[in-house]
Structure 1
Amino acid sequence: MSAVVLGCLALCVALRRRPAARTIVGALAWTLGIAYFAVELPAVAASAAPYDPLVQPMSDLGVTTCGTGTYPLADYAICSPWHDAVNWAFLLSGLVVALGAWCLHPVGARPGAHRSRRSILAATLLVTWGLSMASSGLFPADTHFWTHTLLAVPGMVVHIPALLVLRAALRDARPGLARWTGICATVSIATLTGVVAAPLVPGLGELGGLLQRLLYAVVWVWTLGVAAATAVTAARSAGAQHGRGT
Protein backbone atom coordinates (compact mmCIF):
# COMPACT_ATOMS: atom_id res chain seq x y z
CA MET A 1 0.00 0.00 0.00
CA SER A 2 2.87 2.37 0.72
CA ALA A 3 4.01 1.97 -2.89
CA VAL A 4 0.63 3.23 -4.09
CA VAL A 5 0.84 6.28 -1.84
CA LEU A 6 4.37 7.04 -3.06
CA GLY A 7 3.21 6.57 -6.64
CA CYS A 8 0.48 9.18 -6.16
CA LEU A 9 3.01 11.61 -4.70
CA ALA A 10 5.33 11.04 -7.65
CA LEU A 11 2.46 11.64 -10.07
CA CYS A 12 1.62 14.92 -8.34
CA VAL A 13 5.21 16.09 -8.72
CA ALA A 14 5.34 15.01 -12.36
CA LEU A 15 2.15 16.93 -13.19
CA ARG A 16 3.08 20.06 -11.30
CA ARG A 17 3.84 22.14 -14.41
CA ARG A 18 1.50 20.40 -16.84
CA PRO A 19 -1.95 21.95 -16.34
CA ALA A 20 -3.62 20.17 -19.27
CA ALA A 21 -2.44 16.78 -18.07
CA ARG A 22 -3.45 17.68 -14.51
CA THR A 23 -6.98 18.40 -15.67
CA ILE A 24 -7.24 15.06 -17.45
CA VAL A 25 -5.78 13.09 -14.55
CA GLY A 26 -7.89 14.97 -12.01
CA ALA A 27 -11.12 14.39 -13.92
CA LEU A 28 -10.34 10.70 -14.36
CA ALA A 29 -9.44 10.34 -10.68
CA TRP A 30 -12.71 11.91 -9.60
CA THR A 31 -14.73 9.40 -11.60
CA LEU A 32 -13.25 6.48 -9.66
CA GLY A 33 -14.15 7.11 -6.03
CA ILE A 34 -17.68 5.76 -6.36
CA ALA A 35 -16.17 2.44 -7.47
CA TYR A 36 -15.72 1.67 -3.77
CA PHE A 37 -19.24 0.27 -3.75
CA ALA A 38 -18.31 -2.20 -6.50
CA VAL A 39 -16.05 -3.79 -3.89
CA GLU A 40 -18.39 -3.37 -0.94
CA LEU A 41 -21.34 -5.17 -2.50
CA PRO A 42 -19.58 -8.54 -2.95
CA ALA A 43 -17.83 -8.04 0.40
CA VAL A 44 -21.21 -7.78 2.13
CA ALA A 45 -22.45 -10.87 0.29
CA ALA A 46 -19.32 -12.81 1.26
CA SER A 47 -19.42 -11.92 4.96
CA ALA A 48 -19.20 -15.10 7.05
CA ALA A 49 -21.00 -13.38 9.95
CA PRO A 50 -24.35 -11.57 9.69
CA TYR A 51 -23.71 -8.09 8.30
CA ASP A 52 -26.35 -5.38 7.92
CA PRO A 53 -25.13 -2.39 5.86
CA LEU A 54 -28.02 -0.29 7.19
CA VAL A 55 -26.74 -0.68 10.74
CA GLN A 56 -23.06 -1.57 10.72
CA PRO A 57 -20.20 0.75 9.77
CA MET A 58 -18.20 0.33 6.60
CA SER A 59 -15.08 -0.35 8.67
CA ASP A 60 -16.46 -3.72 9.81
CA LEU A 61 -15.86 -5.05 6.31
CA GLY A 62 -12.17 -4.16 6.63
CA VAL A 63 -11.66 -5.94 9.96
CA THR A 64 -8.88 -8.46 9.44
CA THR A 65 -9.86 -11.06 12.06
CA CYS A 66 -12.99 -13.07 12.75
CA GLY A 67 -14.77 -13.15 16.09
CA THR A 68 -16.77 -11.17 18.62
CA GLY A 69 -15.27 -8.01 20.10
CA THR A 70 -12.67 -7.59 17.38
CA TYR A 71 -12.41 -3.90 18.31
CA PRO A 72 -13.67 -1.92 21.35
CA LEU A 73 -17.06 -0.88 19.93
CA ALA A 74 -17.86 -4.21 18.28
CA ASP A 75 -19.73 -6.42 20.76
CA TYR A 76 -20.99 -8.57 17.89
CA ALA A 77 -19.52 -11.11 15.49
CA ILE A 78 -17.52 -9.91 12.48
CA CYS A 79 -15.94 -12.05 9.79
CA SER A 80 -15.11 -10.42 6.45
CA PRO A 81 -13.21 -12.69 4.03
CA TRP A 82 -12.95 -9.74 1.65
CA HIS A 83 -11.21 -7.50 4.19
CA ASP A 84 -8.08 -7.07 2.04
CA ALA A 85 -10.12 -5.93 -0.97
CA VAL A 86 -12.19 -3.56 1.18
CA ASN A 87 -9.10 -2.01 2.76
CA TRP A 88 -7.60 -1.51 -0.70
CA ALA A 89 -10.89 0.10 -1.74
CA PHE A 90 -10.74 2.46 1.26
CA LEU A 91 -7.18 3.40 0.35
CA LEU A 92 -7.73 3.92 -3.38
CA SER A 93 -11.12 5.66 -3.13
CA GLY A 94 -9.56 8.16 -0.75
CA LEU A 95 -6.39 8.69 -2.76
CA VAL A 96 -8.27 9.39 -6.00
CA VAL A 97 -10.26 12.13 -4.26
CA ALA A 98 -7.08 13.65 -2.84
CA LEU A 99 -5.32 13.38 -6.21
CA GLY A 100 -8.27 14.90 -8.06
CA ALA A 101 -8.49 17.77 -5.58
CA TRP A 102 -4.83 18.59 -6.08
CA CYS A 103 -5.12 18.40 -9.87
CA LEU A 104 -8.40 20.29 -10.23
CA HIS A 105 -8.20 22.92 -7.51
CA PRO A 106 -8.32 25.80 -10.06
CA VAL A 107 -11.98 24.76 -10.62
CA GLY A 108 -12.82 27.20 -7.84
CA ALA A 109 -10.99 30.13 -9.38
CA ARG A 110 -12.72 32.95 -11.20
CA PRO A 111 -12.04 33.44 -14.93
CA GLY A 112 -8.52 34.68 -15.53
CA ALA A 113 -7.23 33.53 -12.15
CA HIS A 114 -5.10 30.43 -11.99
CA ARG A 115 -5.95 29.92 -8.36
CA SER A 116 -7.89 31.67 -5.61
CA ARG A 117 -7.60 31.45 -1.86
CA ARG A 118 -11.00 29.82 -1.71
CA SER A 119 -10.11 27.16 -4.26
CA ILE A 120 -6.86 26.40 -2.43
CA LEU A 121 -8.70 26.14 0.89
CA ALA A 122 -11.33 23.85 -0.62
CA ALA A 123 -8.66 21.71 -2.28
CA THR A 124 -6.77 21.40 1.00
CA LEU A 125 -9.92 20.28 2.79
CA LEU A 126 -10.73 17.75 0.06
CA VAL A 127 -7.19 16.39 0.12
CA THR A 128 -7.64 16.01 3.88
CA TRP A 129 -10.91 14.16 3.27
CA GLY A 130 -9.23 11.82 0.81
CA LEU A 131 -6.31 11.07 3.11
CA SER A 132 -8.72 10.47 5.98
CA MET A 133 -10.62 7.95 3.87
CA ALA A 134 -7.41 6.30 2.71
CA SER A 135 -6.20 5.92 6.29
CA SER A 136 -9.10 3.57 7.04
CA GLY A 137 -7.52 1.08 4.67
CA LEU A 138 -4.05 1.53 6.09
CA PHE A 139 -5.19 1.16 9.70
CA PRO A 140 -8.04 -1.36 10.08
CA ALA A 141 -10.25 -0.95 13.14
CA ASP A 142 -9.18 -4.20 14.78
CA THR A 143 -5.43 -3.69 14.48
CA HIS A 144 -5.13 0.09 15.02
CA PHE A 145 -8.43 1.11 16.59
CA TRP A 146 -7.55 4.57 17.90
CA THR A 147 -5.49 5.52 14.87
CA HIS A 148 -8.31 4.29 12.62
CA THR A 149 -10.93 6.22 14.57
CA LEU A 150 -9.07 9.51 15.01
CA LEU A 151 -7.96 9.67 11.38
CA ALA A 152 -11.45 8.80 10.13
CA VAL A 153 -13.17 11.66 11.98
CA PRO A 154 -12.05 14.45 9.58
CA GLY A 155 -13.58 12.50 6.71
CA MET A 156 -17.00 12.97 8.24
CA VAL A 157 -16.71 16.75 8.46
CA VAL A 158 -14.13 18.54 6.31
CA HIS A 159 -15.88 18.06 2.97
CA ILE A 160 -18.79 20.22 4.12
CA PRO A 161 -16.84 23.50 4.46
CA ALA A 162 -14.99 22.55 1.26
CA LEU A 163 -18.26 22.31 -0.66
CA LEU A 164 -19.62 25.52 0.87
CA VAL A 165 -16.43 27.42 -0.02
CA LEU A 166 -16.51 26.09 -3.59
CA ARG A 167 -20.18 26.92 -3.96
CA ALA A 168 -19.41 30.56 -3.11
CA ALA A 169 -16.39 30.61 -5.43
CA LEU A 170 -18.33 29.13 -8.34
CA ARG A 171 -21.54 31.12 -7.98
CA ASP A 172 -20.71 33.76 -10.61
CA ALA A 173 -18.32 31.90 -12.90
CA ARG A 174 -20.13 28.53 -13.06
CA PRO A 175 -23.63 28.80 -11.59
CA GLY A 176 -24.71 25.32 -12.63
CA LEU A 177 -21.75 23.72 -10.88
CA ALA A 178 -22.36 25.98 -7.89
CA ARG A 179 -25.95 24.69 -7.61
CA TRP A 180 -24.75 21.09 -7.84
CA THR A 181 -22.18 21.78 -5.14
CA GLY A 182 -24.80 23.44 -2.95
CA ILE A 183 -27.15 20.46 -3.26
CA CYS A 184 -24.39 18.06 -2.24
CA ALA A 185 -23.41 20.29 0.68
CA THR A 186 -27.02 20.38 1.88
CA VAL A 187 -27.32 16.60 1.73
CA SER A 188 -24.03 16.26 3.61
CA ILE A 189 -25.14 18.65 6.35
CA ALA A 190 -28.45 16.81 6.76
CA THR A 191 -26.68 13.45 6.85
CA LEU A 192 -24.07 14.57 9.38
CA THR A 193 -26.88 15.95 11.53
CA GLY A 194 -28.47 12.51 11.41
CA VAL A 195 -25.20 10.84 12.41
CA VAL A 196 -24.79 13.18 15.40
CA ALA A 197 -28.45 12.83 16.44
CA ALA A 198 -28.55 9.04 16.02
CA PRO A 199 -27.76 8.24 19.68
CA LEU A 200 -30.53 10.58 20.83
CA VAL A 201 -33.34 9.77 18.38
CA PRO A 202 -35.08 6.42 18.84
CA GLY A 203 -34.71 4.24 15.76
CA LEU A 204 -32.21 6.51 14.02
CA GLY A 205 -29.31 4.57 15.48
CA GLU A 206 -30.50 1.56 13.50
CA LEU A 207 -29.59 3.47 10.34
CA GLY A 208 -26.03 4.32 11.35
CA GLY A 209 -24.49 2.28 8.55
CA LEU A 210 -26.73 3.87 5.93
CA LEU A 211 -26.00 7.39 7.18
CA GLN A 212 -22.25 6.76 7.11
CA ARG A 213 -22.40 5.44 3.57
CA LEU A 214 -24.48 8.40 2.43
CA LEU A 215 -22.02 10.81 4.04
CA TYR A 216 -19.14 9.35 2.03
CA ALA A 217 -21.15 8.67 -1.12
CA VAL A 218 -22.12 12.35 -1.42
CA VAL A 219 -18.46 13.25 -1.93
CA TRP A 220 -17.94 10.56 -4.57
CA VAL A 221 -21.12 11.53 -6.42
CA TRP A 222 -20.15 15.21 -6.24
CA THR A 223 -16.67 14.52 -7.62
CA LEU A 224 -18.23 12.47 -10.40
CA GLY A 225 -20.44 15.43 -11.34
CA VAL A 226 -17.51 17.85 -11.26
CA ALA A 227 -15.43 15.49 -13.39
CA ALA A 228 -18.21 15.33 -15.97
CA ALA A 229 -18.57 19.12 -15.99
CA THR A 230 -14.80 19.52 -16.33
CA ALA A 231 -14.74 17.12 -19.28
CA VAL A 232 -17.58 18.99 -21.01
CA THR A 233 -15.88 22.35 -20.46
CA ALA A 234 -12.56 21.02 -21.77
CA ALA A 235 -14.26 19.57 -24.85
CA ARG A 236 -16.01 22.86 -25.58
CA SER A 237 -12.76 24.78 -25.14
CA ALA A 238 -10.94 22.41 -27.48
CA GLY A 239 -13.74 22.73 -30.03
CA ALA A 240 -13.65 26.52 -29.85
CA GLN A 241 -9.88 26.58 -30.32
CA HIS A 242 -10.17 24.22 -33.27
CA GLY A 243 -12.81 26.46 -34.79
CA ARG A 244 -10.61 29.53 -34.45
CA GLY A 245 -7.71 27.58 -35.94
CA THR A 246 -9.69 26.80 -39.07
Structure 2
Amino acid sequence: MKLSAVLTQGLWKENPTLRMMLGMCPVLAVSTSATNAIGMGVATLAVLVASNFTIALVKDAIPAQVRIPAYILMIASLVTAVDMAMAAWFFELHQTLGLFIPLIVVNCIILGRAEGFAAKNTAFASIVDGLGMGLGFTLSITTLGCCRELLGNGSIFGIPLLGDAFKPMLLMVLPPGAFLMLGLLAATMRRVDMALEARARTVAEGRRQRALDLATGGAPIPMPPGFE
Protein backbone atom coordinates (compact mmCIF):
# COMPACT_ATOMS: atom_id res chain seq x y z
CA MET A 1 0.00 0.00 0.00
CA LYS A 2 1.26 3.47 -0.87
CA LEU A 3 2.21 5.69 2.06
CA SER A 4 -0.26 8.34 0.91
CA ALA A 5 -3.06 5.76 1.18
CA VAL A 6 -1.78 4.68 4.60
CA LEU A 7 -1.88 8.30 5.77
CA THR A 8 -5.34 9.13 4.45
CA GLN A 9 -7.19 5.93 5.37
CA GLY A 10 -7.30 6.96 9.02
CA LEU A 11 -8.70 10.36 8.12
CA TRP A 12 -11.77 9.06 6.28
CA LYS A 13 -12.11 5.49 5.02
CA GLU A 14 -11.00 3.83 8.28
CA ASN A 15 -11.53 6.70 10.69
CA PRO A 16 -11.10 5.10 14.13
CA THR A 17 -13.88 7.14 15.75
CA LEU A 18 -16.61 7.67 13.17
CA ARG A 19 -16.04 4.48 11.14
CA MET A 20 -14.74 1.79 13.47
CA MET A 21 -16.18 3.29 16.67
CA LEU A 22 -12.97 2.65 18.64
CA GLY A 23 -11.91 4.46 21.79
CA MET A 24 -15.45 5.45 22.70
CA CYS A 25 -14.74 5.95 26.40
CA PRO A 26 -12.54 9.07 26.05
CA VAL A 27 -14.43 10.26 22.96
CA LEU A 28 -17.75 10.45 24.79
CA ALA A 29 -16.46 11.50 28.20
CA VAL A 30 -13.88 14.15 27.29
CA SER A 31 -15.55 15.85 24.32
CA THR A 32 -17.62 18.25 26.42
CA SER A 33 -15.49 21.13 25.10
CA ALA A 34 -13.20 21.73 22.14
CA THR A 35 -10.19 22.35 24.40
CA ASN A 36 -10.55 19.07 26.26
CA ALA A 37 -11.17 17.21 23.03
CA ILE A 38 -8.12 18.51 21.19
CA GLY A 39 -5.98 17.90 24.28
CA MET A 40 -7.00 14.26 24.41
CA GLY A 41 -6.63 13.96 20.65
CA VAL A 42 -3.08 15.30 20.57
CA ALA A 43 -2.04 13.14 23.54
CA THR A 44 -3.41 10.04 21.81
CA LEU A 45 -1.75 11.06 18.54
CA ALA A 46 1.65 11.39 20.23
CA VAL A 47 1.35 7.98 21.89
CA LEU A 48 0.09 6.35 18.70
CA VAL A 49 2.97 7.61 16.55
CA ALA A 50 5.61 6.80 19.19
CA SER A 51 4.23 3.34 19.96
CA ASN A 52 3.94 2.39 16.29
CA PHE A 53 7.52 3.47 15.69
CA THR A 54 8.89 1.71 18.77
CA ILE A 55 7.06 -1.56 18.16
CA ALA A 56 8.03 -1.61 14.48
CA LEU A 57 11.68 -1.31 15.50
CA VAL A 58 11.70 -4.13 18.07
CA LYS A 59 8.99 -6.44 16.69
CA ASP A 60 11.47 -9.07 15.50
CA ALA A 61 13.13 -9.29 18.92
CA ILE A 62 9.89 -10.00 20.82
CA PRO A 63 8.74 -13.63 21.11
CA ALA A 64 5.26 -14.16 19.70
CA GLN A 65 4.04 -15.66 23.00
CA VAL A 66 4.63 -12.44 24.96
CA ARG A 67 4.11 -9.81 22.28
CA ILE A 68 0.85 -8.40 23.71
CA PRO A 69 2.21 -7.84 27.26
CA ALA A 70 5.37 -6.39 25.73
CA TYR A 71 3.36 -3.99 23.57
CA ILE A 72 1.29 -2.88 26.55
CA LEU A 73 4.44 -2.29 28.60
CA MET A 74 5.93 -0.10 25.88
CA ILE A 75 2.66 1.80 25.40
CA ALA A 76 2.38 2.35 29.17
CA SER A 77 5.89 3.81 29.25
CA LEU A 78 5.04 6.23 26.46
CA VAL A 79 1.75 7.22 28.08
CA THR A 80 3.59 7.93 31.33
CA ALA A 81 5.95 10.25 29.45
CA VAL A 82 3.04 12.08 27.82
CA ASP A 83 1.24 12.30 31.17
CA MET A 84 4.29 13.86 32.84
CA ALA A 85 4.81 16.29 29.94
CA MET A 86 1.20 17.48 30.11
CA ALA A 87 1.44 17.87 33.89
CA ALA A 88 4.52 20.05 33.41
CA TRP A 89 3.41 22.22 30.49
CA PHE A 90 -0.41 22.05 30.42
CA PHE A 91 -1.29 21.65 34.08
CA GLU A 92 -4.90 22.89 33.92
CA LEU A 93 -5.72 20.69 30.95
CA HIS A 94 -3.97 17.78 32.66
CA GLN A 95 -6.13 18.28 35.74
CA THR A 96 -9.29 18.44 33.63
CA LEU A 97 -8.56 15.29 31.65
CA GLY A 98 -7.48 13.49 34.81
CA LEU A 99 -7.73 9.71 34.66
CA PHE A 100 -8.40 9.63 30.93
CA ILE A 101 -4.74 10.28 30.11
CA PRO A 102 -3.46 7.09 31.84
CA LEU A 103 -6.37 5.23 30.23
CA ILE A 104 -4.77 5.83 26.82
CA VAL A 105 -2.76 2.70 27.69
CA VAL A 106 -5.82 0.51 27.15
CA ASN A 107 -7.23 2.48 24.23
CA CYS A 108 -8.00 -0.16 21.61
CA ILE A 109 -6.84 2.15 18.81
CA ILE A 110 -3.28 2.10 20.16
CA LEU A 111 -3.01 -1.66 20.67
CA GLY A 112 -4.97 -2.37 17.50
CA ARG A 113 -2.56 -0.43 15.29
CA ALA A 114 0.42 -1.95 17.11
CA GLU A 115 -0.79 -5.49 16.48
CA GLY A 116 -2.48 -4.91 13.13
CA PHE A 117 0.07 -2.66 11.41
CA ALA A 118 3.28 -1.80 13.27
CA ALA A 119 4.09 -5.46 13.97
CA LYS A 120 3.95 -6.23 10.24
CA ASN A 121 5.48 -3.16 8.57
CA THR A 122 8.55 -0.94 8.53
CA ALA A 123 9.21 1.78 11.10
CA PHE A 124 8.60 4.62 8.63
CA ALA A 125 5.33 3.14 7.36
CA SER A 126 4.25 2.63 10.98
CA ILE A 127 4.92 6.29 11.76
CA VAL A 128 2.77 7.30 8.78
CA ASP A 129 0.00 4.94 9.89
CA GLY A 130 0.12 6.29 13.44
CA LEU A 131 0.02 9.84 12.15
CA GLY A 132 -2.98 9.14 9.91
CA MET A 133 -4.95 7.28 12.56
CA GLY A 134 -4.00 9.83 15.22
CA LEU A 135 -5.06 12.76 13.05
CA GLY A 136 -8.32 10.99 12.23
CA PHE A 137 -9.01 10.47 15.93
CA THR A 138 -8.00 14.03 16.81
CA LEU A 139 -10.13 15.63 14.09
CA SER A 140 -13.13 13.48 15.01
CA ILE A 141 -13.03 14.12 18.76
CA THR A 142 -12.30 17.83 18.21
CA THR A 143 -15.23 18.18 15.81
CA LEU A 144 -17.44 16.42 18.34
CA GLY A 145 -16.16 18.69 21.11
CA CYS A 146 -16.74 21.84 19.05
CA CYS A 147 -20.31 20.81 18.22
CA ARG A 148 -21.16 19.92 21.81
CA GLU A 149 -19.59 23.08 23.23
CA LEU A 150 -21.30 25.29 20.65
CA LEU A 151 -24.76 23.84 21.26
CA GLY A 152 -24.28 23.31 25.00
CA ASN A 153 -22.58 26.60 25.91
CA GLY A 154 -22.78 28.79 22.81
CA SER A 155 -18.99 28.96 22.51
CA ILE A 156 -15.99 27.25 20.91
CA PHE A 157 -12.64 27.12 22.73
CA GLY A 158 -14.30 29.28 25.40
CA ILE A 159 -15.02 32.10 22.91
CA PRO A 160 -18.75 33.08 22.93
CA LEU A 161 -20.20 32.93 19.41
CA LEU A 162 -23.99 32.80 19.65
CA GLY A 163 -24.66 35.78 21.92
CA ASP A 164 -26.84 36.22 24.99
CA ALA A 165 -30.05 35.42 23.14
CA PHE A 166 -28.95 31.82 22.61
CA LYS A 167 -30.42 29.31 25.02
CA PRO A 168 -27.84 26.54 25.66
CA MET A 169 -28.92 22.95 25.15
CA LEU A 170 -27.90 21.27 28.41
CA LEU A 171 -28.36 17.87 26.78
CA MET A 172 -25.30 18.45 24.59
CA VAL A 173 -22.88 18.57 27.54
CA LEU A 174 -24.36 15.42 29.08
CA PRO A 175 -23.60 11.81 28.03
CA PRO A 176 -26.81 11.40 25.98
CA GLY A 177 -25.82 14.46 23.96
CA ALA A 178 -22.45 12.87 23.23
CA PHE A 179 -24.13 9.77 21.79
CA LEU A 180 -26.56 11.84 19.73
CA MET A 181 -23.89 14.10 18.26
CA LEU A 182 -21.57 11.17 17.57
CA GLY A 183 -24.38 9.43 15.68
CA LEU A 184 -25.12 12.58 13.67
CA LEU A 185 -21.47 12.98 12.68
CA ALA A 186 -21.17 9.32 11.69
CA ALA A 187 -24.39 9.56 9.67
CA THR A 188 -23.12 12.73 7.96
CA MET A 189 -19.91 10.95 6.97
CA ARG A 190 -21.93 8.05 5.57
CA ARG A 191 -24.19 10.45 3.66
CA VAL A 192 -21.16 12.10 2.07
CA ASP A 193 -19.89 8.66 1.07
CA MET A 194 -23.21 7.84 -0.59
CA ALA A 195 -23.17 11.12 -2.51
CA LEU A 196 -19.61 10.51 -3.70
CA GLU A 197 -20.46 6.96 -4.76
CA ALA A 198 -23.52 8.17 -6.69
CA ARG A 199 -21.44 10.82 -8.42
CA ALA A 200 -18.78 8.26 -9.34
CA ARG A 201 -21.45 5.99 -10.86
CA THR A 202 -22.88 8.90 -12.85
CA VAL A 203 -19.45 9.88 -14.17
CA ALA A 204 -18.66 6.26 -15.08
CA GLU A 205 -21.98 5.88 -16.88
CA GLY A 206 -21.39 9.12 -18.76
CA ARG A 207 -17.96 7.96 -19.89
CA ARG A 208 -19.35 4.59 -20.96
CA GLN A 209 -22.09 6.28 -22.96
CA ARG A 210 -19.63 8.64 -24.68
CA ALA A 211 -17.36 5.71 -25.57
CA LEU A 212 -20.35 3.83 -26.95
CA ASP A 213 -21.44 6.85 -29.01
CA LEU A 214 -17.94 7.17 -30.46
CA ALA A 215 -17.85 3.46 -31.30
CA THR A 216 -21.26 3.44 -33.02
CA GLY A 217 -21.17 6.94 -34.51
CA GLY A 218 -24.27 7.84 -32.55
CA ALA A 219 -26.38 5.19 -34.29
CA PRO A 220 -28.79 3.19 -32.14
CA ILE A 221 -27.61 -0.25 -31.08
CA PRO A 222 -29.59 -2.98 -32.90
CA MET A 223 -31.60 -5.19 -30.58
CA PRO A 224 -31.18 -8.97 -30.72
CA PRO A 225 -33.97 -10.95 -32.41
CA GLY A 226 -36.97 -11.35 -30.18
CA PHE A 227 -36.18 -8.21 -28.08
CA GLU A 228 -37.61 -5.56 -30.47
Give the TM-score normalised by the residue count of structure 2: 0.34
- Determine which structure has more spread, i.e. the larger CA radius of gyration: 2
Larger RCO (CA within 8 A; separation ≥ 6): 2
TM-score for the superposition, normalised by structure 1 = 0.33
